[in-house]
Amino acid sequence: MRLSQFSLSSPGPKRDRNEDAVDFWEPADDQVRRQHGSVAIIADGVGGQSNGDVASQLAVHVALEVFRHASPSLTTKQILREIFHRANLAIYELGMENPKGGRMATTLTVCIFRDKELVIGHVGDSRAYLIRNEQIKRLTDDHSYTGLQLKLRLITEHEARASELRSMLTRTVGHEPVVRCDFKRVKLMSRDRILLCTDGLYCFVNDGEISEGVDRLNMDEICPYLISLAERRSTDDNLTAQVIQIDRLVDPKYESPISFLKNSQGELENRMQHEVQVGDVLDSRFRIETVVNRSGMASIYKVPYMQYESDPGTFARFQREAEIGKRLNHPNILRFVTVADQSRPYIVMEYLQGRTLSEVMNEIRPLPIADAVQIASALCDALSHMHQQKVVHRDLKPQNVMVCDDGSIRIMDFGIAKATEMRRITFAGLSPAMGTPDYMAPEQVKGRRGDERTDIYSLGAMLYEMTTGRVPFEGPNPFIVMNSRIAGDPVAPRKRNPQISEQLEEIILHAMEREPAKRYQTAADMKAELDDPDSVRVTGRSHRLRSPKMWKTRWQGVRLIVISAIIPVAAFVVALVVARCHH
């Protein structure tokens, strides 16, 4: 698991002393980190007791020491129990050594990140929030008098924030020789953000404002924004915030090359002539060293052919790909480089070395199950980001996925392919450039535009092929294939490859439901089950599959064949008429 974190603490506008404490620690060595995990800690010294700052700092120090020296064989809950026991005893004994100085106490919230999970130990009224997909969820309960009133629905959340009794705690660390703490376990997803904060912040910034700030801002902007907002509202307490982002959930396996990867050798040869020649320098910045690949409109680096720059439709597609590419920023999506003041239209992208997923599957059928799941999980992560940015690919297929030599995955092509530029993908749009419709969703076959769930269907079809070695629907021509996915379901994956687990089969068929409403509604939901197959509830989808009944849709098939035959003839007649009119 890879994390990034940022924290900030302030005494606030009305306090001379800051009695909050916060820290974060993870091992520098990757292998140790994977076994040991990472820890985030926040504490708020109780102001009504003496030396609240001493108590909070001691609690954080003890927690760090216990975590650092804990045996990796211990469970996270066992480590948390030891942390709270030793921190409580240390603070209690220190307070008893100086009875005249008064007792000491603090709140304490400890978060351990390990094995794709967050495990929280909590005492007091500091809070932990989970922000995921623009939704906020509180992970801890307030051990305070107002928290109890709120739990019994005697007061509202707004009344609890404004209550004079909100600082009256029912549970603290260090006040008594024994402490009782809460534990909570949360399954994590990539791009989750966890916020830890003290009451000086959340009593003056509501959950909606917290969610918007954490979700929208960059990591280094979140804490200053939230603390500044609370200070402007005249908070009367210390303020501390710490935000942790799950950058990458499963890095031990995914960072190493996928098992079937081989270092490719040799260079791609291309002797085509092009307006932009090898050796040219664009805008005194980019030297064209070689032609990596070409499509019908452009070469990489992508520069539209001069003849297409004057064509509004084609040029609009080129512009759209550039605009979409600049909006997306994700490790599993091809990165676009922004260039200001271009002398002519062109797109600059990162250079990748590897093979398309289509090329890989031409060599290995089926892929190893673990590799297929790993690739699908990475693609889900990328799709989730795209969909959050209101971008739907609509042409997801193995030819548009790059498996890089370093084991990373990239989704490519956001507008150059003919299929993605059309407002509606219709039968007339089928062409060699588009390829076979093996990954089109049923709604696309019917001529609809589709939405985020269209991409999920395509990913399900790709996962089907990766794990079984065969496309979901087969037929002598594209029209039969398209008709099959409307009229019925694919063969159950486990019938084609018994090594596929029941849970994985359930995931594939869930993604490939013919009705969009019955599919995963978000790519994040699909990724969560791919990453944790034990959580999948097998509903028996494989037993409810219906084979395509071609005789039931005979007239649809005839209509498709007639349309496909008429279109070229009609196009020829129109061209002939135009030519005659021109003469």
More confident residue, 280 or 534: 534
Q: How far apart are CA 130 and CA 138, in angstroms?
A: 6
pLDDT at position 163 over 70: no
Q: How far apart are CA 390 and CA 404, in angstroms?
A: 26
**Residue position matching structure tokens 């996928």:** 258
Domains and CATH numbers, the chain: 2-252 (3.60.40.10), 364-568 (1.10.510.10)
More confident residue, 122 or 34: 122
Q: How far apart are CA 339 and CA 142, in angstroms?
A: 50
Q: Which residues of 168-184 are buried (b: 16+ CB within 10 A; e: fewer)?
A: ebebbbbbeeebebbee
DSSP 101: G
Q: Which residues contact 306 (CB under 8 A, 6 or more apart)?
A: 275
Identify the pLDDT of residue 109.
97
Residue 103 class from Cβ within 10 Å (0-12 exposed, 13-18 middle, 19+ buried)? buried
443 or 580, higher pLDDT? 443
pLDDT at 304 over 90: no
Task: Tell me the mean pLDDT in the region 116-127.
Answer: 93
Cα–Cα dist 324/394, whole Å: 13
- Please report the pLDDT score of residue 143 as a whole number: 87
- What average pLDDT does range 471-492 have in this prediction? 85
**The predicted structure's pLDDT at residue 548:** 82
State how far the Cα of 166 lies from the Cα of 577, in Å rounded to an integer.
83
Q: Which has more pLDDT, 441 or 304? A: 441
- At 349 the pLDDT is 73
3-state secondary structure 300-315: CCEEECHHHHCCHHHH
CB 513 within 8 A of CB 519: yes
Residue 66 CB: number of other CB atoms within 10 A? Answer: 20
Span 304-308, average pLDDT: 51
User: What confidence score (pLDDT) does residue 286 get?
Assistant: 57
Give bridge partners of residue 129 from the DSSP assignment.
Answer: 138, 195
- Amino acid type, 350: E
User: What are the structure tokens assigned to 314, written together?
Assistant: 């084609």
pTM for the whole structure: 0.48
Q: Which run of H or E residues covers position 480?
A: helix 478-487
Cβ neighbours for 550, distance < 8 A, ≥ 6 positions apart: 480, 483, 484, 487, 557
Strand 286-287 to 348-349 pairing: unpaired
* Among 381, 449, 14, 447, CA closest to 191: 381
Q: Mean pLDDT in the chain? A: 80
| Poorest-pLDDT segment among 17-26, 89-98, 456-465 | 89-98
Q: How far apart are CA 493 and CA 541, in angstroms?
A: 11
What pLDDT score was predicted for residue 56?
93
Tens digits of residue pLDDT in 346-365: 677 777 788 899 999 988 88
Separation CA 512–CA 490 (nearest Å) = 9
Is the predicted pLDDT of residue 454 greater than 70, yes or no?
A: yes
Q: How confident is the model at residue 31 (pLDDT cuts 50, 70, 90)?
A: confident
Angle at 297 between CA 295 and CA 300, to 5 degrees: 60
Contact (Cβ atoms closer than 8 angstroms) between residue 108 and residue 89 = no
Query: Which of 172-186, 289-303, 418-432 ranks highest by mean pLDDT?
Result: 172-186
pLDDT above 70 for 164: no
Q: How far apart are CA 530 and CA 507, in angstroms?
A: 7
Mean pLDDT for 380-392 is 89
Beta bridge partners of 184: 120
According to the 3-state scheme, what is the secondary structure of 139-182? Answer: CCCCCEHHHHHHHCCCCCHHHHHHCCCCCCECCCECCCCCCCCE
pLDDT of residue 369: 93
